[in-house]
Amino acid sequence: MTDVVIIGAGMAGLVCAQQLTQAGYSVLVVEKSRGFGGRVATRRLHNTCADHGACYLKPKGKLMTQFVELLIQRNILQVWNGTFMEKTQNIVSSMQPRYVSPNGMSSIAKFLAQGLDVILERRVVEVNFDDNQWRLTLESHQSISTKVLITAIPAPQALTLLEPLEGSILNSTFINKLRSVEFFPSITVMAGYPATSTPLPQWKAITFENDNILGWIGFDSTKRLNPSQPVFVVQSSADFAAQNLETQDLQPVGQQMLRTVANSVGFDWLASPDWLQVHRWRYAFPKHPLQETFLTAETLQPLVCCGDWCGGNLISGAVDSGLSAASAVNSQLRPNTTLEDWKL
């Protein structure tokens, strides 16, 4: 039996796993997808890649600044220079630099996953507690036992797994906290264009304020070292995503978004890509992150929930939450001890 099982290999889960592994615990990470990073996601397609989740990193605080500096030293991140616009104000956003990965933003998660025990493409379908341990049942009918359970997934997904335990193992206060967390959805379009496309925009990204359809467009191929063609990533508004989230075929939705952005920014050729792919994010951005950096249940063995919906949002919030969850678990297993500062 392992000491700790973490559900979710996004940023919060990976940071938490690294911290607890360095402290000497045996840690297993279980991830339903085939890759690391969660919403720090990169799609490999058409001999290139596109960041269809988090598109860049803007560090906040001393810890994230040090993390970014380390990733720069490892040639994982570089500054994304250029003009960043807001459609309603028409130019130029803050001077704080944006950092991107030439090999895709998921490279950050792959770096964090080094040395960890992770099983991919394994969905947890049931959680129980008996014989003073947590028992997880996977979609493959495999069973895993652990002393400590950490969920590092969106709160609605954690609720699906833990709600059946309300009233027996878990109290209503804890479950209601999970119930209170809601997310904005998003629809993301990745589109590639002929290498001869002209004129090319001079901006790197545009944020659309209060637009019915659009939320953001990024000139994604400008992040790559030797791009073979222009590639753009378009993110929808939350309202537009909510209206189309259950649409079975998202290709027409993606085409509508490209036509809208072409009209809005004045580049007609953006409406006619060589290829496009569309991805739906059901849990893109927490509407109102909890004040706490993690949630812990009053149980015989530790149960902790973390993610970017705790204490903040985006990558910085996920990292802070993962570190706080690790510290909470350590304080329950080894009272009167503290974890060392996070290091990689």
Q: Which residue has the tokens 């030293």?
A: 73
The pLDDT assigned to 88 comes to 63
Residue 84 sits at the vertex; the CA angle it makes with 80 and 86, to the nearest 5 degrees, is: 155
Strands 27-30 and 2-7: parallel
Task: Judge contact between 295 and 176, C-beta under 8 A.
Answer: no
Residue 12 sits at the vertex; the CA angle it makes with 217 and 216, to the nearest 5 degrees, is: 10
Q: Identify the bridge partners of residue 192 per DSSP, sorted by sequence position.
A: 231, 275
Residue type for position 106: S
Q: Which residue has the tokens 């906290």?
A: 177
The pLDDT assigned to 295 comes to 97
233: nearest Cα among 201, 258, 263, 264: 258
Q: Identify the bridge partners of residue 295 per DSSP, sorted by sequence position.
A: 305
117: nearest Cα among 20, 42, 229: 20
- Reading the chain (344 residues) residue by residue, the pLDDT tens digits are 899 999 999 999 999 999 999 999 999 999 999 999 999 999 999 999 999 999 999 988 888 999 999 999 999 999 999 999 987 655 555 567 899 999 999 999 999 999 999 999 999 999 999 999 999 999 999 999 999 999 999 999 999 999 999 999 999 999 999 999 999 999 999 999 999 999 999 999 999 988 999 999 999 999 999 999 999 999 999 999 999 999 999 999 999 999 999 999 999 999 999 999 999 999 999 999 999 999 999 999 999 999 999 988 889 999 999 999 999 999 999 998 888 777 76
Number of residues in the chain: 344
The pLDDT assigned to 176 comes to 97
Q: The dihedral of CA 33, 34, 36, 41: what is its sign?
A: negative
300: nearest Cα among 149, 138, 143: 149
The pLDDT assigned to 45 comes to 93
Residue 230 sits at the vertex; the CA angle it makes with 260 and 265, to the nearest 5 degrees, is: 30
Report how far residue 290's alpha carbon sits from residue 227's, in angstroms, rounded to the nearest whole number.
Answer: 40
What domains appear along the chain, each with residue ranges and CATH number? 2-41+110-182+288-333 (3.50.50.60), 56-104+183-286 (3.90.660.10)
Helix, coil or strand: residue 324: helix
